Amino acid sequence: MAMNMKELSPDLFEPAEIDTEAGETVAKKRLSYWADVRRRFLRNRGAVIGLILIVVIGLMAVFGPGMNEFNFRQQDFTAQNISPFDKIEGTHWFGTDNLGRDLWTRTWYGAGISLLIALIAAAIDLTIGVIYGAISGYFGGKVDDWMQRIIEVLVGIPNLIVIILLLIWLEPGIFPIALAIALTGWVNMARIVRAQMLQMKSQEYVLAARTLGANTRRMLTKHMLPNVMGPVIITLMFTIPNAIFFEAFLGFIGLGLRPPEASLGVLINEGYGVLQIFPYQTFFPATVLSLLMLSFNLLGDGLRDALDPKMRK
Amino acid sequence: MGRFVIKRLIYMVITLWVIATGTFFLMHSLPGSPLENEDRIPPELREQILEQYGLNDPLPVQYVKFLGDLVQGDLGNSFKYDGRSITAMIMEGFPASAQLGLQAMIFGVLVGVALGTVSALRRGSWVDNGSTVLSVLGYAVPSFTLAALFSYYVGVVWGVLPTAGWGTFAHSILPSLSLSFLVIAQITRYVRTEMLEVLGQDYMKTARAKGLNRKTVIFRHGLRNALIPAITILGPLTVALLTGSLVVEQIFNIPGMGWMFVDSIMTNDYTMIMGVTMFYSFLLVLSIFIVDILYGVVDPRIRLTSPKE
């Protein structure tokens, strides 16, 4: 103890020099919200693979049908049911079906149609869902009460029933199918947008904007909608694989597009008839369908984690 | 609790009424009549048939009659199958579908709960990674693709199980298995998430601290709490199973309701479509109602919070 006391010289008690400037320097480059989202997204391997697969399938859907000399409805009765594994000259990379139509062309063309239907359905979902949810959440009170009662009834109606009934009623085509799928899908979107709006209404920046005299239109477009973007994008990402599934499902039970039109569902349905003899006719479209749904699910999961880390499960 | 049940019950009735009305007017606004293509029917006979099915009455009268019959469980007669009672036909097809659905549900829930629990307990292990992959695949790969795989490999290539028909338990294995994948995927994911959440709770530490052994803590305190939220997905799962059954019954040639429904769609048997639609809706709305009530019973917080909040 005594020894230590000697070693303590008074200069040890001089106040240290504090560089007040140093506290102000930013150690790391500042990340904007979207840069942060991108960083989190790119770290998620599954999501990136999903995105790449979607881009690849999307590109194949556009360019695939043009890669060989056939088109999707051209029949060739000298080349029926050619398996891609038979060594026959020609460019039927995925083989042909029972009418001699080239399955490579039909698969990619069909994937394109399936994607198109899913995108139209997602766009309708987005429009109706966001508008309905925003109105309900923003105005609140009586309006909200009534709009929510309607939603509660609609939620109870099984979408399977609505989609099937609508398609018996409408003529099957790309737009009617998308419409039928979207008519049951927007409810989910509306609920999420409404919940976000309600939550946001009580926050300070909204109050601040209102105090500064922002009108309803400005409030909605400049302050609230940009802030619901995250959950909306996430919901949309799960709407798309759902729509792809329903299109295939409808094709399977005979309410989808009519051959010679092709979509993944139609192709799988046609393939089933001969599954036990020519399994490749089901294999290719079913693989593309599964990959597509898998990719969108992975992408959706990745985006959810990236856009809203709190929601991470 | 009583008010909660009554409120859900009222919603259920309104929902069913909306579906019934929608179905009725959609079906009656279809162009043409079901007899249109049958030119050979003499006019007197046609008149008689229309009279017999009540198609000559004004639409509102038909509507009221339809609703009245519906309440009594009478779904009318089939157009295609010589006026057989639709209710009777549904009751013939229902047992097969119900068996498939139940088997898929029970198997799926058992496997799902087991996988989910083990994954949560051994985070990052091969079981966890494996079941994550499985659940992602289960979400993404539609049941009909699985059904095709199963029926081709297990049925045709290996020849182990029958791929078509109905009757013995062996017939039901492949279709139930194809249906159960989605159940496994969703339950695994849900139980894992909830279990992880529960494992981090203070009462788990307390239970350990007061000297309970690991097994008791995990099963009595952990799993029981983790399973409560999992009840909520039983409703959507029932819907998914029904959707899947339409296709799976078609693939495996099972004379169930799903098969009947698709058949009635393909043959434009309008009264049958209406009947099965109503039956399906009733089943789904009822199952969601039961799940709601069940959840209210298990977790009292649910019925105390009003939907306005």
What are the sequence ranges of the domains in chain A? 33-73+90-311
Give chain B positions within 8 Å (CB) of A299. none
The pLDDT assigned to B244 comes to 82
The pLDDT assigned to B306 comes to 45
Q: Is A77 on the interface with B (CB under 8 A)?
A: no
Give chain B positions within 8 Å (CB) of A160. 239, 242-243, 246, 280
> Of A74-83, A117-126, B219-228, where does the model show the most confidence?
A117-126
> Can you give A81-105 as a three-state secondary structure string?
CCCCCCCCCCCCCCCECCCCCEHHH
Q: Is B282 on the interface with A (CB under 8 A)?
A: no
* Residues A167, A179: Cα–Cα separation, whole Å: 9
The first and second tokens of residue B279, run together, are: 């039956």
Under the banding of pLDDT at 50, 70 and 90, the label for residue B307 is very low
CB within 8 Å of B253: residues ≥ 6 apart:
B164, B165, B166, B259
Q: Phi-psi category of B299—alpha, beta or left, where left has phi over 0 and alpha has psi -120 to 50? A: beta
Contact between A308 and A238 (Cβ < 8 Å):
no
Average pLDDT of every residue of chain B? 80
Share of chain A above pLDDT 70, in %: 85
The first and second tokens of residue B296, run together, are: 């209210």
Cβ neighbourhood burial of A300 (10 Å; 0-12, 13-18, 19+): buried
Cβ neighbourhood burial of A182 (10 Å; 0-12, 13-18, 19+): buried
Is pLDDT at A206 greater than 60 in this prediction? yes
Structural fold of domain A33-73+90-311:
MetI-like fold (1.10.3720)
User: B148 and A282: CB-CB below 8 Å?
Assistant: yes
**Could you tell me which residues are beta bridge partners of residue B85?**
B77
Chain B nearest CA to A151, separation (Å): 11
The pLDDT assigned to B193 comes to 84
Average pLDDT of every residue of chain A? 79
Q: Is B306 on the interface with A (CB under 8 A)?
A: no
Q: Is B262 on the interface with A (CB under 8 A)?
A: yes
Name the H helices within A33-140. Answer: 33-43, 45-63, 103-139
Q: Which of residues 281-310 of A touch B (CB under 8 A)?
A: 282, 286, 289-290, 293-294, 297-298
* Residues B89, A116: Cα–Cα separation, whole Å: 39
User: B193 and A160: CB-CB below 8 Å?
Assistant: no
**Could you tell me which residues are beta bridge partners of residue A96?**
A102
Is residue A260 reached through a cis peptide bond, with omega within 30 degrees of 0 on the bond before it?
yes
B143: closest CA among B116, B100, B102, B175?
A: B175
Q: What is the pLDDT of residues A237-266, one digit of tens each?
A: 888 888 888 888 888 777 877 777 778 888
* Residues B218, A185: Cα–Cα separation, whole Å: 39
Mutate to test the interface with B, among A146, A159, A168, A288 (most CBs of B within 10 A): A168
Q: How far is CA A8 from the centre of its chain?
A: 68
Q: Of B29, B30, B145, which has the smallest distance from its Cβ to A289's Cβ?
A: B145
Domain extents in chain B: 94-267
Q: Of A165, A282, A290, which has the smallest distance from its Cβ to B23's Cβ?
A: A165
Chain B nearest CA to A78, separation (Å): 27
Q: Phi-psi category of A44—alpha, beta or left, where left has phi over 0 and alpha has psi -120 to 50? A: beta
- Comparing alpha-carbon positions, the chain A residue that sits nearest to B286 is A156
Q: What does the DSSP 8-state code read for residue B161?
A: S
Q: Which residue has the higher pLDDT, B95 or B47?
A: B95
CATH class, range B94-267: mainly alpha
Provide mean pLDDT across the span A209-233.
79
User: A290 and B141: CB-CB below 8 Å?
Assistant: yes
User: B148 and A152: CB-CB below 8 Å?
Assistant: no
CB within 8 Å of A214: residues ≥ 6 apart:
A222, A223
Q: Is B239 on the interface with A (CB under 8 A)?
A: yes
The first and second tokens of residue B267, run together, are: 């043959």
The pLDDT assigned to B309 comes to 34
Residue with the two structure tokens 């162009």: B31
The first and second tokens of residue A48, run together, are: 């990136």
Chain A nearest CA to B211, separation (Å): 30
A79: closest CA among A100, A106, A102, A63?
A: A100
* Residues A287, A110: Cα–Cα separation, whole Å: 13
